[in-house]
Amino acid sequence: MKKLGILLSGRGSNFRAIFDAIQSGFIKNAKIEVVISNKADAQGLKFAKDNKLNAIFLNPKDFFSRSEYDRKLVEILKNYSVDLVCLAGFMRIVGEEVVNAFENKILNIHPSLLPSFPGLNAQRQALEYGVKITGCTVHFVDTKVDHGPIVLQAAVEVKEDDTVETLSNRILSYEHKIYPYAVKLFVEGKLRVLGRKVQILH
């Protein structure tokens, strides 16, 4: 049984997609062991509590520095014996302490086809740039933002009349497909990281 730790800051729809995929049996032999939020009022944290999961609000204001915060994150994740950390809309940069403690064991979802449009407001960046195709990316987390080895991507068409909202919603529906699938592959031991490349074993 692989134990998952989820880090989030808000809505938590990707967390719910992973939760649902476990409930439905799409992802087998995994359980969500702990959900941690840096925001007290995150909807995702409420969902975790409502579903009787271990749900922790870790307030950045209680810590002197980012690295102190990150050390606490690692401590909690280790205490829960987490095998895989899923960043699911966690709006904080995770530092070296976390990345080194969970090397190739942290996944993130980003709403663009990386390496295009890293950072905040990726959907707006894509619209303003005028690309015709964008998408979403699940990648392993390294010490650079939105940079680590790519696990899965989905391409999404940009339509002429798209707004940030309509485009974000279209991308989100693909996020909810590829993130659970990437988690499933990880849990089944089918991801092998070779430098920048992730090999999917069959």
Q: Could you list the residues that contact ligand GRF (CB under 6 A)?
A: 8, 10-14, 44, 88-89, 109-111, 172, 175
Q: How far apart (Å, rounded) are the C-alpha atoms in residues 139 and 148? A: 6
- Cα dihedral: 143, 155, 130, 15 (round 10): -50
Tokens of 161: 């009349």
Residue closer to ligand GRF (CB basis): 126 or 172: 172
Task: Say if residues 167 and 126 touch (Cβ distance below 8 Å).
Answer: yes
- Give me the least distance between CB of 146 and ligand GRF, in Å please: 9
Task: Give min distance, CB of 109 to ligand GRF, in A.
Answer: 4
The Cα–Cα gap between 159 and 19 comes to 31
110 is catalytic: yes
Nearest residue (CB) to ligand GRF, 5 versus 111: 111
CB atoms within 10 A of CB 84: 21
Q: How far is the CB of 8 from ligand GRF (least distance, A)?
A: 6
* Cβ nearer to ligand GRF, comparing 11 with 170: 11
Q: What is the number of other CB atoms lying within 10 angstroms of the CB of residue 39? A: 18
Catalytic residue among 110, 139, 176, 202: 110
By annotation, the residues acting in catalysis are: 110
